[in-house]
Amino acid sequence: MSFFTSPAALMQQPMTYLVMAALCLVIVLRFLKQALAPIGALIQAIAAAALVALAASIALAMLGVAAFMTVR
């Protein structure tokens, strides 16, 4: 049994593809985390703006109901 395997024979093993895919995914996840770090603040700002818009629209709706109830 030889310890040195030819690249062609090595590529015939499914485990080789699984190991290579796992290594690629680890690298991708590591760099994806770094790439998305600046976007996290942007997402938080958008969520805060959406919450402000929701609170403002609820407040306006409540003011409208209160005005309608006092006129009636």
Question: What are 25-49's pLDDT values in tens digits?
Answer: 999 988 888 888 888 888 899 999 9
In the structure, what pLDDT confidence band is assigned to residue 50 with cuts at 50, 70 and 90?
Answer: very high
Q: Per-residue pLDDT for 68 more than 90?
A: no
Place of tokens 């190991």: 19
pLDDT in tens, 7-23: 666 667 778 788 888 99
- Please give the tally of structural domains in the chain: 1
Residue 34 falls inside a structural domain: yes
| Among 33, 53, 35, 57, residue whose Cα is nearest residue 45 | 53
Residue 1 located in a structural domain: no
Model's pTM, two decimal places?
0.51
Q: Which residues span the domain enclosing 30?
A: 7-71
Residue 33 lies in a domain: yes
% of the chain beyond a pLDDT of 70: 85
